[in-house]
């Protein structure tokens, strides 16, 4: 396990692509319990299985409650890097859509009209670099819908070649200290096609 930080209240780790973030067999909580030899690991936010990136897990019920409150109050910041196939019409923009979830087929899609089954999805992005018909963008999520980044860009003719949760910022649930953790992209394609600034 790639552990970035741990104390008695939280553990910050990099979730590999292909591993679920929820508490089920083979998921991150189970892996962390085995690695840290502890019983209490609670998921407070999710990351799609195919996406690698930084996650914080609570090590107590109180820590989980306080972190969840930050998420509800939009004081929990998540920044992603995504590689788009193509070039967006604007170098920076905010995308807002209605997303619906087909639970039977486990798919998320853009809906044309509001309904009890739709929820607003909103993100902001800005362009970092481009190469070989691909564009590297930095994405800030304002809502946390399943497959949101992938679906919102794909609906505009910009399918993802790769995405990764790059940065996570929150207040420590016990000390209220501002904490930020980052995880650079792997040294593999498509990320190696781009020049990354020292700070994103």
Q: Distance between the two ends of the chain, CA-based, in angstroms? A: 24
User: Minimal CA–CA distance to 6: which of 31, 34, 47, 41?
Assistant: 41
Pull the structure tokens for residue 89.
């019409």
Residues 6+ apart with CB under 8 A from 134: 83, 84, 85, 86, 161, 190, 193, 194
* pLDDT the model gives residue 91: 97
Measured CA distances, 158 to 87, 104, 187 (Å): 7, 26, 23
Is 199 a residue whose pLDDT tops 80?
A: no
Q: What is the pLDDT of residue 110?
A: 92
pLDDT of residue 54: 93
To the nearest whole number, what is the mean pLDDT of the chain? 91
Backbone φ and ψ of 16, nearest 5°: -70, 155
Q: Average pLDDT of 137-155?
A: 90
Entry pTM: 0.82
Helices (H) and strands (E) in the chain, counts: 3, 11
Instruction: Give residue 200's pLDDT.
Output: 64
The residue annotated as part of the active site, out of 48, 102, 117, 132, is 48
To the query of whether residue 163 is one of the catalytic residues in this protein, the response is: no
Q: What pLDDT shows up at residue 64? A: 96
Average pLDDT estimate for 77-90: 93
| Lookup result for tokens 């591993």 | 19
Q: Is the pLDDT of residue 165 over 70?
A: no
**55 phi, psi to nearest 5 deg:** -135, 150
Q: How far apart are alpha carbons 176 and 157 in whole angstroms? A: 42
> Cβ atoms within 10 A of the Cβ of 74, count?
9
What is the mean pLDDT of the segment spanning 72-95? 93
Half-sphere CA count of 45, side-chain side, radius 13 A: 31
With beta carbons less than 8 A apart as the criterion, state whether 164 and 184 touch: no
More confident residue, 119 or 145: 119
Find the range with the poorest average confidence among 26-30, 63-67, 145-149.
145-149
């Amino acid at each position: 396990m790639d552990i970035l930080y741990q104390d008695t209240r939280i553990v910050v780790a990099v979730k590999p692509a292909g591993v679920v973030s929820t508490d089920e067999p083979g998921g991150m909580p189970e892996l962390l319990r085995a690695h840290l030899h502890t019983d209490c690991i609670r998921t407070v936010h999710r990351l799609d299985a195919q996406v690698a990136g930084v996650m914080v897990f609570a090590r107590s019920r109180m820590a989980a409650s306080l972190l969840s409150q930050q998420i509800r109050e939009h004081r929990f910041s998540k920044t992603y890097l995504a590689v788009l196939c193509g070039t967006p019409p604007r170098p920076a923009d905010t995308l807002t859509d209605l997303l619906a979830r087909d639970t039977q087929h486990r798919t998320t899609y853009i809906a044309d009209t509001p309904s009890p089954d739709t929820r607003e999805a909103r993100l902001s992005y800005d362009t970092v670099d481009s190469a070989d018909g691909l564009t590297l963008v930095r994405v800030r999520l304002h809502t946390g819908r399943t497959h949101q980044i992938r679906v919102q860009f794909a609906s505009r003719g910009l399918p993802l070649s790769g995405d990764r949760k790059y940065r996570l910022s929150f207040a420590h649930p016990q000390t209220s200290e501002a904490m930020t953790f980052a995880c650079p992209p792997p040294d593999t394609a498509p990320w190696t096609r781009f020049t990354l600034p020292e700070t994103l």
